[in-house]
Structure formats: structure tokens, C-alpha cells
Amino acid sequence: MSQERLDRLSSILHCYVERGEEAYAETIGWQDREAQIPIQRDTLFRIMSMTKPVTTVVALMLVEEGRLRLYDSVDTWLPELTHRMVMRDPDGEPAEVYPSPRSITLHDLLTYRLGIGWGPSSLWPRTFALFPYPPQLEQTERLDPDAWMARLSALPLLYEPGMRWLYEMASDLLGVLIARVRGQSLEMVLRQRIFEPLGMGDTSFAVPLDKRSRPAVLYAKTAAAELTVADHPRRTGWAEPPLFPSRGAGLVSTADDYQRFGQMLLGKGDLDGVRLLSRKAVEAMTTDYLTPEQHTYPFFEFDRYDADRSGMWTNRGVGYRVAVRTRQVSLGPRVGSFGWPGALGTT
């Protein structure tokens, strides 16, 4: 292989991207390996954490409409978060606490810095148990949003708001906030404000009966590195709307649907004449908010996505629910590129 000629390919593809054109689309592999059904352009995928940027866009729309303010307390809408106590030692006794110096804001939720979430602490089993998995995967207890909030309110914060980046918990809190502000279910809000305007007709929290043949079989690896079926369209856990739709990991979508969402963000809030956000809102969404100290904290094993294995935050920062490239590595994504993957393999 000629590196010089491969470099030309990258250059040409960049030109397509800069012109806003679709540069390459191909379907490779099996939607159902056992039945030998190939992947199609309209195959449905469980996009998991790629739900997070979608929810964020709705929150920013509410900010632009004056329904929410970025740096105001969210206590009015989420009274369960009032009078938060902070653990003196995240690894210590949960009863050893002091009053939080300030309330939690929308900005804290959008940047995962509200003070509680996934990460090493003595509360880790309890915080992880609150993740509203789709029911067929792991969660054994099903909670509606209000019951989930009540369970969360019994826990102290691990850190003061703004101090530490902690994953996941803020995503589902944001979904509860949006639903309460709008007085609608999150599914309805997303459908009215994003899916219908952008023509994302295949994106939802459940797969209706007339589309039940289109989800890809979900495979998982056993300890022996063999593939096993974790979810099948014929008995999928995404068949019915969930009691608590995971605002951080619940959506099903297609590559073409999600591309339209991504193109809207690349268009600074506009797609085909439909404007969801202002240019400044998208720029705020894709700005790195981590402090230099917060850049040093590890995050799971996301270094596997880096060609140089340098670690999640070495070459990236965090905006509002997206990772933002802050340094180019080799021929990889350029500075300012942004995105977020899903735990089941989408990106």
C-alpha cells in the first residue's frame, strides 16, 4: 500500500466534507448473521449513548426560548436536588457530609459536573444501579421518572458542583428536566422538536411492529470471545416504550437518520432550511469546558478510540454531551471535530 496515494484519498474525502456532500456510504456485514440477512441502509441500531447529544439539543432549544437558563439553579424543576449534601471523602462513609456551597445548574448537567455520576467511589454500586438500562439488558428493577428521582435524592454528592466530570447520571436527569419543563413525555418532546422537523422517521425509544424486521441482531462476546445473541428482533426488549426512557442511552435509529442530525449540527443548527438552534448555541455545545485538572482524570477505556492510545482527554475535551477534538493526531479527525459513541458499537 502506498502511503502517499492513501493520503490523496483523505484529501479528496475532506473536500467532499467541506462542501457538505455525502462522501462515502456502504453497507457491510450482517444484520442477522445466522439468517444471512445483510445490513441495509435502513437497518435499525440501538444507538445507546448517541442519545445524549439529541437530548442536549432540546435543552439548548429551551434555553434559546427562555424556558431555561444555563447558569440558573435547576431546583425549581428538580426539587429533589435541593439542599444537596457533599461527601467529605468520595471513598468514605456516605453519612460524612457537608452542605453543598451552591445549587446544581443546567450547565453542570450539560457538562457532567453536577457532582454525582459514574466513577470510583463508595457509592459506585448504588449510582450504577440507577442507570435505566433497556429492560432486557441488565436492569432488574423498573422505576418511573419520579421514583428514579426519589431514589437519586437519597444519595449525597460525591463532589461539589462543577468540581469533577462524572459520566451518565446527568443525562437522565436532563431528560427528567426537559419533560417537566415541557409538561410532556420525553419521547413526545423529541419527536415534535427534532425527529419530525429533521425527517428522522425511524428514530424512537421503541421499535413498532411494522418495523420489527429491521433491527440488527445485537451480539455480545462471551468470555471465550465467541459471539452470542443478546437481543433479537423477534423478542426484542425495544418492542414496547420503556417505563423510564433512558435519556442517555435509549434511542433506536438508522445511519441515515442520525446523519441528518449530525448534518444539522455541522450546519450550525440548520438543515435544509429547518433551523433548530442558533450558530452560537452549536458553538457553545462544541466548546471544551474541562479545566486543565479535569483533563488529567481518566475515563473508562476510551483510549481504545485513539490511534496513539493517549487517553480520552489528552486530545479531546468535553462540550455539552459531545467530545471535542482539541489536538489532531496523525491523519485522524481535525481540531474542532466532535461526536460521541454508543456502548453497543455505534459511533
Strand locations in the chain, DSSP E? 30-32, 37-38, 45-46, 85-87, 97-99, 218-221, 227-231, 252-253, 270-271, 274-275, 316-318, 323-325, 338-339
Residue 49 DSSP symbol = G
Mind listing the pLDDT tens digit for each residue in 190-230? Answer: 999 999 999 999 999 999 999 999 999 999 888 887 889 98
Residue 140 confidence class, pLDDT cut points 50, 70, 90: low
d(CA 242, CA 251) in angstroms, rounded, equals 11
Provide the residue ranges of all domains of the chain, joining segments of one domain with +: 1-32, 40-339
Looking at every residue in the chain, the average pLDDT score rounds to: 88
Query: Which residue did the predictor score with more confidence, 143 or 345?
Result: 345
List the single range of 53-62, 113-122, 281-290 with lowest mean pLDDT. 113-122
Residue with cell 457532582: 115
- The stretch 304-324 carries a mean pLDDT of 72
Examine the pLDDT at 307 and tell me if it is beyond 50. Answer: no
Give this prediction's pTM: 0.88
Q: Are residues 161 and 104 in contact, defined by beta-carbon separation less than 8 angstroms?
A: yes
**Percent over 70 (pLDDT), the chain:** 93
Average pLDDT (68-73) is 96
CB 208 within 8 A of CB 44: no
What pLDDT does 301 receive? 46
**What is the CATH T-level fold of the domain 40-339, as seen in this structure?**
Beta-lactamase (3.40.710)
Question: Which has the minimum average pLDDT: 13-22, 171-180, 221-230?
Answer: 13-22
